[in-house]
Amino acid sequence: MSLAIGDAAPDFTLTNQFGEDVTLSSFKGKKNVVIVFIPFAFTGTCTGELCALRDDLSAFQNENAELLAISCDSMFTQKVFATQENYNFPVLSDFWPHGEVAEAYGVFNAERGCAVRGTFIIDKEGVLSWQVINGLGDARNIGDYKAALAAL
């Protein structure tokens, strides 16, 4: 399944690195949401991308925006990863049913058992307003989705 700009974003509830449920629709009417799918915790490119977001967090997590990182790693892996890298934003586990949310967003790579690098901006009404999907090894430019978020 692939999503198009203007589609309603598939809702989900996933567990963050602290074992707490995070539901996409809970931000509806309150905040725009930046969803960043990463293939695997602790890999060079994924760590670099999330560290870049961490280092510019005020652009992605503030009174108008929420940042959600998602991978198919377990909640326990996410906790160690987030703690080690000092991520002060939700790092969500799409572990079981394995890759279900990544599949709903059209970014699940079944052969590898992980998400590819998809970034989605969901507006305050729950509608997909921007997206970019890169391959497993292709790093994203956070400036692109920073600009897209600022345009909302």
The CATH number of the domain where 59 resides is what?
3.40.30.10
Residue 101 within a domain: yes
Residue 67 pLDDT: 97
97 Cβ partners below 8 Å, 6+ apart? none
Residue 1 pLDDT: 59
Report the C-alpha gap between 128 and 33 in whole angstroms: 10
Q: Look up residue 152 and give its two tokens.
A: 């909302």
Report the C-alpha gap between 70 and 58 in whole angstroms: 19
Residue 6 within a domain: no
Q: What is the mean pLDDT of each run of 10 residues along the chain (152 residues)?
A: 90 98 98 96 86 92 95 96 96 96 96 95 97 85 85 86
Judge whether 69 and 81 are in contact, CB under 8 Å: no
Rama region for 60: left / alpha / beta (φ>0; ψ in -120 to 50; rest): alpha
Residue 145 pLDDT: 81
For residue 99, the SS3 value is coil
Q: Look up residue 35 and give its two tokens.
A: 């969803």
Active site residues: 46
Residue 29 within a domain: yes
Residue 55 within a domain: yes
138 Cβ partners below 8 Å, 6+ apart? 117
Residue 31 within a domain: yes
- Total domains present in the chain: 1
For residue 137, the enclosing domain spans 13-150
pTM: 0.94
